[in-house]
Structure 1
Amino acid sequence: MFRFTCVDFFLRLIPESFILIWGIHIFSKKTIDMFKYILSSLMLAVSYFIIRCLPIYFGVHTDICIMLTIIIVMFIIDIPLIKNVIGTLLLYFMLSLSETMNMLLLSGLNIDTDISVLQPITRFIYGIPSLIIFIISIITLKFVLKNKKVIPNYL
């Protein structure tokens, strides 16, 4: 079974949680309070690390992480529930899409993508493209939301 290391925590989970919380702020059009942003991102990263170390099936930890993200964002950042749930699900979809695109890219380059046998630094290097794709998709979301009325006012 795949186990996270401290290298994975610092090089993957922390940046990913900061990007995720930033995306939720963008979706909900809420200004960032730096203390709450850093606190919620670090709490999310630590929670993800603990959840991913539990002896549960691979897909179950994602569902738990989604629920935990909704709870942390709702109580710490004070984003209303509807915006929070929609934003969290949208951001997790974008994250999954970016990781899928990264896996297709690595497979197209004939690179072994079995993360359970890779060293932590190699996993981090192979994961950089998905983080870049995720950031670009959030910037695109920010541009779309700024220039068009995509989100109804009641959300």
Structure 2
Amino acid sequence: MFKLTCIDFFFRTIPEQLIIVWGIHIISKRNINMFKYILSSLILAISCFIIRDLPIYYGVNTDICIMLTIIIVMFIIDIPLIKNVIGTFLLYFMLSLSETINMLLLSGLNIDTDISVLQPMTRFLYGIPSLITFIISVIILRFILKNKKVIPNYF
């Protein structure tokens, strides 16, 4: 188990949570209240940072972060449960997919991606492509959901 650093918190966890909460707003078709948006994102970032430091099996921390995201977004931002759950699961799936694409890209370039031995700054630099992919996928999702002709109104 590796220790998370301030670099991980400020350059990975906070932007990740800002994008996730923004994506939930997009899926639920809600306007963003900036105070609630930043507050919920920071609470989620701090919570997920603490949970990732717990001595639990890898993957369980993601499940706990998903549950916390649903709870915090539901109570702070007041998004209905069904839209919240759909948005949270979809966004965490998109995040996982972007990280998988990033790992495949790094492996294709013969770069060692064992995060337990990497320096924090190197870990941050290797994670930039997945964060960019995640942002682009959320922007594409926003574009798709704005065009009602493309997708039925399930959300």
**TM-score scaled to structure 2, two decimals?**
0.97
| 1:113 partner SS | coil
Query: Does residue 64 of structure 1 match 2:64?
Result: yes
Q: What is the rounded CA distance, in whole Å, between the counterparts of 1:66 and 1:94 in structure 2?
A: 13
Across the aligned residues of Structure 1 and Structure 2, the Cα RMSD in angstroms comes to 0.8
> Which amino acid in structure 2 is aligned with residue 68 of structure 1?
L
2:100 aligned partner = 100
The one-letter code sitting in structure 2 at the alignment partner of 1:119 is Q
Q: Matches of residues 138-149 of structure 1 in structure 2 within 5 Å? A: 138-148=138-148, 149=151
Post-superposition shift, 1:2?
Answer: 1.7
Query: Can you list the C-alpha shifts for 1:90-120, whole angstroms capped at 9, x where unaligned?
Result: 0000000000000000001110000100000
- Any gaps of 5 or more consecutive residues in structure 2? none
Give structure 1 stretches of 5+ with no counterpart.
none
* CA–CA separation in structure 1 for the residues paired with 2:65 and 2:152: 27
Report the Cα offset of residue 151 of structure 1.
Answer: 3.3
Q: Distance in 2 between matches of 1:116 and 1:151?
A: 43
Residue of structure 1 in register with 2:54 after alignment: 54
Residues 4-35 of structure 1 show CA distances to partners (whole Å, capped at 9, x for unaligned) of: 11110011101111011111111110000000
Residue 115 of structure 1 corresponds to 115
Taking the aligned partners of 1:56 and 1:79, their CA distance within structure 2 comes to 30
Q: In the aligned structure 2, how far is the partner of 1:151 from the partner of 1:117?
A: 46
Report the counterpart of residue 31 of structure 1 in structure 2: 31
Which of residues 137, 149, 152 is equivalent to 1:150? Answer: 152
Structure 1 segments of 4+ aligned residues over 6 angstroms from their partners: none
Q: In structure 1, how many angstroms separate the alpha carbons of the residues matched to 2:80 and 2:105?
A: 37
Letter in 1 for 2:152: V
Q: In 1, Cα distance between the equivalents of 2:2 and 2:21? A: 25
Aligned length: 153
Q: What letter corresponds to residue 68 of structure 2 in structure 1? A: L
- TM-score scaled to structure 1, two decimals? 0.97
Deviation, 1:150, is: 3.2
Q: Distance in 1 between matches of 2:81 and 2:129?
A: 31
What secondary structure, in the 3-state scheme, does the structure 2 residue paired with 1:62 have?
helix
2:135 equivalent in structure 1 = 135
Matched letter for residue 150 of structure 1: P
